[in-house]
């Protein structure tokens, strides 16, 4: 499955209503945050910003997975066992691969 390439941007088009569009200002999706009264407006705005950054986040995850995989396969196979903050490089690679597959609709 393919998604619309980024970057995406978002703008408020009414109180609690947002449109996410691509770089040519073509609308991709509308989000109505007023449907969920229990979520504070500033959290809703942050969630919309996160959704709008999805293409860049996916690209960053793909790049990170590629670099970590290459470095741990070619330069230092022991790198996969290195832990930082309680997570090994192997764990991070697994998480990156899972979220990339989910974003691409491969799960």
pLDDT score recorded for residue 54:
94
Share of the chain above pLDDT 90, in %: 60
pTM attached to this predicted model: 0.85
Q: What is the pLDDT of residues 3-20, one digit of tens each?
A: 888 899 999 999 889 999
The pair of three-digit structure tokens given for residue 7, joined into one six-digit string: 């970057």
Q: What is the pLDDT of residues 32-56, one digit of tens each?
A: 988 877 888 889 899 999 999 999 9
DSSP-H helix ranges across 27-88: 41-52, 54-70
Q: What is the pLDDT of residues 16-27, one digit of tens each?
A: 899 999 988 888
Give the Cα separation of 61 and 66 in Å (integer): 8
10 Å CB burial of residue 9 (0-12, 13-18, 19+) is: middle
Crossing angle between the packed helical segments 54-70 and 41-52, to the nearest 10 degrees: 60
């Amino acid at each position: 499955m393919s998604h619309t390439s980024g970057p995406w941007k978002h703008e408020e088009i009414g109180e609690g209503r947002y449109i996410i569009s691509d770089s040519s200002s073509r609308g991709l999706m509308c989000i109505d945050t007023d449907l969920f009264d229990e979520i504070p407006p500033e959290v809703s705005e942050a969630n919309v910003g996160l959704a709008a950054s999805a293409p860049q986040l996916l690209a960053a995850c793909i790049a990170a997975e590629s670099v970590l995989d290459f470095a741990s396969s070619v330069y230092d196979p022991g790198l996969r066992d290195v832990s930082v903050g309680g997570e090994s490089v192997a764990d991070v690679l697994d998480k990156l691969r899972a979220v990339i597959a989910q974003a691409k609709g491969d799960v």
